[in-house]
Amino acid sequence: MNAAPASNPLADLIAEKGVLLADGATGTNLFAAGLEAGEAPELWNESNPDKIRALHQGFIDAGADIILTNSFGGTRHRLKLHHAQDRVFELNRKAAELAREVADKAGRKVIVAGSVGPTGELLVPLGALTYEDAVAAFTEQLEGLKAGGIDVAWIETMSAPDEIRAAAQAATGLGLPYVYTGSFDTAGKTMMGLHPRDIHNVVDGLGQKPVAVGANCGVGAADILSSLLDMTNADPNATVVVKGNCGIPEFRGSEIHYSGTPDLMANYAHLAANAGAKIIGGCCGTSFAHLAAMRQALDNHVQGPRPTIETIVETIGPMRNKTAGDGSDAPRRERRGRRG
């Protein structure tokens, strides 16, 4: 496979700073700002742009080096659930423009990453979506994000290797550098059976390597650190992303709350850096305050020994899943449909 482009804004900033801080939750923070359950966050790019700007500004003020656009569900397959499948280009372009506007006023380099989530469809032979149609859907979304000024395509919360590959092919076809992350939420693997150690090989032969690969979302901070160890063991030289949930999701009545405190997320950031992650962020439940604690942790970080599972559990708390390497079949966890 050919190498990733020698120079792109994300790779350049990693080379300059060593470890980057990515942003936190989109959904959690937009719900706090008034988004209703079942409402498409992407529609807020046009109806509530000030709230999207405030989301990005909050993460930049907390110290984020990377902000993700409000476009996770921006394919026509997701938007059709809200009768907006004919607005893919404009909604994604607006998502990128809003993030770009805020990032460009930061007074320092902030990477704008175009968030691309799963289509929600199963690919052939398990479902009706062909690989070619998936590439076309991701291309349509990324055309809008590119027009709005993203620095990198950020393919996230993926389960199926073929869907990762389709999104990566779409990015490559548009000349965009790209990152991809899986959600290892099912017995330590993705719902479609991808093991963390195999994340590096998903796009072999495409012609352009990713800038980074890794994990996001999942079930909790301890579990995603276990996945990180698997990924960095498999390829110690890879640029690896870890963007974990803020502790563990807990239902309180009909509401989901996350158990992570700012101190816990600071410890998670230290452990992630010691385990070899080059991009560290938060996913569901991660607020501006959590991210600020992670920023302080990384700014004060002194590289320590590579953590063990025992160290992770002692520091962060128990794992919720069986690990991917123990051959067990843990019950499948219901996947949340939206990042953050």
In a domain, 67, yes or no: yes
Q: How far apart are CA 134 and CA 153, in angstroms?
A: 16
In a domain, 334, yes or no: no
Tokens of 264: 């816990």
Strands of the sheet with 178-182, listed across from one edge: 20-21, 279-282, 240-244, 212-217, 178-182, 152-158, 111-116, 66-68
In a domain, 75, yes or no: yes
Tokens of 266: 């600071």
Is residue 2 predicted with pLDDT exceeding 60?
no
Tokens of 38: 């079942």
What is the arithmetic mean of pLDDT over 50-72?
Answer: 98
Q: How far apart are CA 79 and CA 116, in angstroms?
A: 13
Q: How far apart are CA 68 and CA 226, in angstroms?
A: 24
Tokens of 80: 């059709």
Query: How far, rounded to the nearest angstrom, does the alpha carbon of residue 55 sit from its chain's CA centroid?
Result: 16
* Those residues with Cβ within 8 angstroms of residue 168's Cβ, 6 or more apart along the chain or in another chain: 155, 178, 180, 202, 203, 206, 208, 210
Contact 96, 163 (CB under 8 A): no
Residue 246 annotated as binding site: no
In a domain, 338, yes or no: no
In a domain, 253, yes or no: yes
Q: Which domain holds residue 212?
A: 9-326
Q: Is the pTM of the predicted complex or chain greater than 0.75? A: yes
In a domain, 132, yes or no: yes
Is residue 65 predicted with pLDDT exceeding 50?
yes
Mean pLDDT of the residues in the chain: 92
In a domain, 333, yes or no: no
pLDDT (tens digit per residue) in 233-277: 999 999 999 999 997 777 777 677 788 899 999 999 999 999 999
Q: How far apart are CA 336 and CA 251, in angstroms?
A: 13
pLDDT (tens digit per residue) in 6-56: 579 999 999 999 999 999 999 999 999 999 989 999 999 999 999 999 999
Per the structure, the count of domains in the chain is 1
CATH number at residue 116: 3.20.20.330
Is residue 332 predicted with pLDDT exceeding 50?
no
At 62, give phi and psi (nearest 5°).
Answer: -75, -10
Q: How far apart are CA 310 and CA 118, in angstroms?
A: 33
Q: How far apart are the first and last CA of the chain?
A: 33
In a domain, 196, yes or no: yes
Length of the chain (residues): 340
